[in-house]
Structures are given as C-alpha cells and as structure tokens.
Chain A
Amino acid sequence: MVSFCQFVLLGFFSFFLFWVFSPPPALAQERPYFVAYDHYLEEPGNLEIEYFSTYGTQRSGNNFHAFWTEFEYGATAWWTTEFYLDGQTTFHDSTLFTGFRWENRFRLLKREHFINPVLYVEYENKNGADKILKEGEGHDLESDFLVSNAEARKEHIHEAELKLILSSTFKGWNFTENTLAAKNLSNSPWEFGYALGASRPLALKASAKRCTFCPQNFIGGVEMYGGLGDRHNFGLHDTSHYLAPVLAWNLPSGWTLRISPGFGLNDNSHRFLMRWGVSREITGFGSMVSRLFGGQR
C-alpha cells in the first residue's frame, strides 16, 4: 500500500513540476467528452497530461472511485498516441493499480470533410478490478462490480480494441459517433459498444481581450454510451447505457477542467457516475526531448 501511495505522490509531484517549469502553454481547445472521441488529434509534438476520476454508485455493494492518468502525444498531424495508467478505490475494500492501456488514433483522410473518419486501435493490459468505465462494451453490467477487489484482481485481461470514430463539425457544433469492437485476447468473443456525442462552445467568436471566463472558453455538450452485446448475442439485451452532460473549461493558462454527471439508463447500469478531470497541454514537448539528445527538430 505504501508503494501505491508513493506512486500517486510521484505522479502529483511530476504534474507539479510540469506545471511550474513547462513552456508557455497553448490554450487547449479540448473536447469535453470523457468517453466519446471526436476527430481532432493532438497537435504534432505536443504532450497533453490528463488526470480523470470517476465516482460511481453501486447497488448492493460499495461505491467506488476510479482514476486514470493519460499521456497523449501528437506524433504527427495524422497520428496521436496515448498511454494510460488506471487505478481504483472501492470504499470499505481497497485501493489498487488496475493496469495500463496504449491507444493510437489515425486520421484516415487528408482533408476536412462533412464526416471525418478516425481509426482507433488500443491494447489494454488490466485486471478484472478495473472500474474506470472508459467505454461501454459487450454485456458489461453493474453487478459485475460486486466482486471484491481481492477476487477481481486475479483476473488478467489482455484486450485489443478497435473503434471507428465518425465526427462532423457543423455551425460550431461537433457531432461524433463511435462504434467499438473489443476482443479479449484469450478465447472470448468480440464485444461491441457505441458512444455518441454532441458539443459546442458557448460562444463561437473569440474575445479581443484575454479572459478566463469568456464564453468561448467553455464547451458544453452531452454524450451517451453503452454496450451492444457480443458476437453470439448482439443487441441491447443485458447491456448497460449512460447519458451524461459534459462541460469543459479551457483556461488561458493552458489547463482544461472537465466535469460530467452521468446517469444510468437502465437497471443494468450504475445509477450515477460523477466524472471530473484536469489536463494540461505542453507545447513543443517533442522538440524539447529531441534537443536533449542533440537533435534539431
């Protein structure tokens, strides 16, 4: 347990160092979604560090607080790669590290179109106690979380996940539709899921003065996500679904704050999920690393 605390403390300390010493940040124009993805990738050479939390209620069991940290890097203008570390605390039970994920998103078309496809490829190495609910897939149910952490962590999951992200921007609105196919690399069937999102900045024109509370710094919207069963039993039977308003606040200092209360839409879903997150974009991270090794990127 001490090691886990050290891990968390080191994470916060690293975050603090970046905050204090990192170059002047770009104003992040981040999506407000927690689950859905739009077609905008990280700018090349930029690193975004993100921390997210999910507080979830649990019927007939203990509520939980799941959290994850993301390191999102713009490798090119058409490829973003991301590394996640996940953990969770189940109240009256324990706190544990639940695994890591490596995600890649590839923009498929050179130019902007009415519908913009992005291919998402992810590898997950996690245990059965993972509760971040970063996607809805297969027959994931609230009752799956009743198992104690000690029991759940014994299950090791190596999973590949593919998503097709179709996203459009129209009159300031972003509309996105994600379809998901996930395969546990052991002998399990393909599982499916979806996420839908719509969002818009509160103002479309930028202010001529620097401001923290200008409406263009806030992006509001809604997302909906859930499972679609698996290869043997496709459909809505025994699946969970959520609807969640989302709000992001892009501060001029380079920080982005997000919040999203989520509501389960059926008896298989957690009744309530409260998500929040904080992130900061580090511009020119790739160049700085390159210069450290003598490059002239």
Chain B
Amino acid sequence: MKAVSAALAVSTSFLAVSVVLAQSRSSGKPPGGAAPKYDPAIYAELQKAPEKARNRTNPLQNDPDAVAAGAILFEQHCAECHGNSAEGSRKAPSLQVPEVQTATPGTLFWLLTNGVVRKKMPVWSKLPEPQRWQLVRYIKSLGGPATPGDSPVPKP
C-alpha cells in the first residue's frame, strides 16, 4: 500500500508539472531566449579539428537534395538550441558568423561528430554520416551560395 501511495504521489507530481508546463508553453516565449552577445572565443573549438578531419571534402557537395534534407534535419535536431535560422540563443552560438561559415566542411563534420560535451554540445554521431554531411551542407548554405547547390532553402 505504501508503494502504491508513493507511485500515486509521483504520478500526481508529474501531472502537476505537466499542467504548469502546458501553461508556460502558452506564454509564447522562444525556448532558447534571445541570442547572446557575439563572443569569438565560443568558436575556438573549431580550431581543434585535426588536419586530416579539416581536409575532408563533403561527399554530398554535388547532391541537389542535400541542403533541403539538411534544413529538415537542422529543424529537428539543432534549432532548439541554435535557433530556427541558426541565429543562436542563450543555449548555443550562432552558426551564421564568419568563424563557422569560413570553416571547412570537414571541420564542421568533425565538430558534429564529436560534439563539445563539456559545453553542452552533444555528440551527433548517432546521425548516420550522410545525414551529418547533409547538415553541413545546410549550415554552409546559411552564409550565402558558395556553390550553385548551396543556395539557402526557405524554412520548411
């Protein structure tokens, strides 16, 4: 009986949290809050990519669907922290800045694969390699059309 009471208590607390969360959701605030001030030090992790990783080329560089697929993946996995247009939030930096846009595709792929786990950036190797390359194509497209296939796509 004691155990059932405990379970009831946990379940009721969970219910209460659900209701409160539902109300906070309706306040309409963006999840990550406003973008922080620009701080170049945040991007220092990009410099840690080994040369071999930096020099890797994107095997989907000429895939016409890669940017569109990357945009969907970005919305599903990255926008919560980096913002809907990768503009950054309190949780994670902007990906539109020159540090990211001038980084090689291999560097971005390396960072996605390894994450920065001490700074809350998860390891994304759970996405298969081709999907990480699709994400790289999308992120690079945010800085303007470097190649014909890289023109930004409207948000899906």
Contacts and interface: CB of A to CB of B under 8 A. Distances in A.
A161 interface: no
B127 A44 contact: no
B8 interface: yes
Nearest to A254: B76
Contact of A210 (B72, B113, B117): B72
Contact of A97 (B7, B15, B114): B7
B11 A14 contact: yes
A45 B11 CA distance: 21
Interface stretch (B27-35, B93-101, B140-148): B27-35
Interface in B17-71: 17-22, 24-26, 29, 31-33, 60, 65-66, 68-70
A148 B153 CA distance: 62
Contacts of B127: 29
B103 interface: no
A63 B31 CA distance: 46
B156 interface: yes
A204 interface: yes
Contacts of A283: 31, 80
Contacts of A38: 126
B131 A204 contact: yes
Interface string A19-51: 011110011010000000010110111000000
Given A3-B4, A284-B32, A77 B122 contact: yes
Chain B facing A: main interface SS = helix
A6 B127 CA distance: 40
A224 to B, nearest CB: 21
Interface stretch (A104-112, A135-143, A241-249, A271-279): A104-112
Nearest to A107: B117
A92 interface: no
A296 B90 contact: yes
A76 B117 contact: yes
24 contacts: A4-B4, A10-B12, A11-B11, A20-B22, A21-B22, A23-B25, A29-B126, A41-B123, A77-B121, A78-B118, A85-B7, A99-B3, A110-B118, A112-B114, A112-B125, A205-B60, A206-B73, A208-B65, A216-B128, A287-B31, A287-B91, A288-B31, A289-B17, A289-B21
Given A26-B77, A169-B125, A206-B70, 8 more contacts: A7-B7, A7-B8, A71-B14, A205-B134, A210-B156, A284-B32, A287-B32, A288-B24
The 6 closest A-B pairs by CB, nearest first: A21-B22, A27-B76, A208-B65, A204-B128, A208-B68, A77-B117
Interface of A: 3-4, 6-7, 10-11, 13-14, 17-18, 20-23, 26-27, 29, 38, 40-41, 43-45, 71, 74, 76-78, 85, 97, 99-100, 107, 110-112, 127, 169, 171-172, 201, 204-210, 216, 252, 283-285, 287-289, 291-292, 296-297
